[in-house]
Amino acid sequence: MASNARHTSDTSGSGAVRPPTGSASREGPLGGLAPFDQARVVFAAFDAKDVATLTSLVRDDVRIRLGNAEEAQGKPAFVEAVEAFVASVAAFHHHVLNVWRDGDTLIVQLEVRYTRHDGGEVTLPCCNVFRLDDGSLADYRVYMDISPVYE
- Which domains does the chain show, CATH number per domain? 15-150 (3.10.450.50)
Amino acid letter at 107? I
pLDDT value, residue 119: 96
pLDDT value, residue 138: 97
What is the distance between the alpha carbons of residues 82 and 54, in angstroms, rounded to a whole number? 9
Task: List all residues 6 or more positions away from 144 whose beta carbon is below 8 Å from its beta carbon.
Answer: 67, 112, 124, 125, 126, 127
Q: Looking at the whole model, is its pTM more than 0.85?
A: no
Measured distance between the N- and C-terminal CA atoms of the chain, rounded to whole angstroms: 35
pLDDT value, residue 93: 97
Query: How many of the other CB atoms lie within 10 Å of CB of 1?
Result: 11
**pLDDT: which is higher, 96 or 13:** 96
Query: How many of the other CB atoms lie within 10 Å of CB of 43?
Result: 21
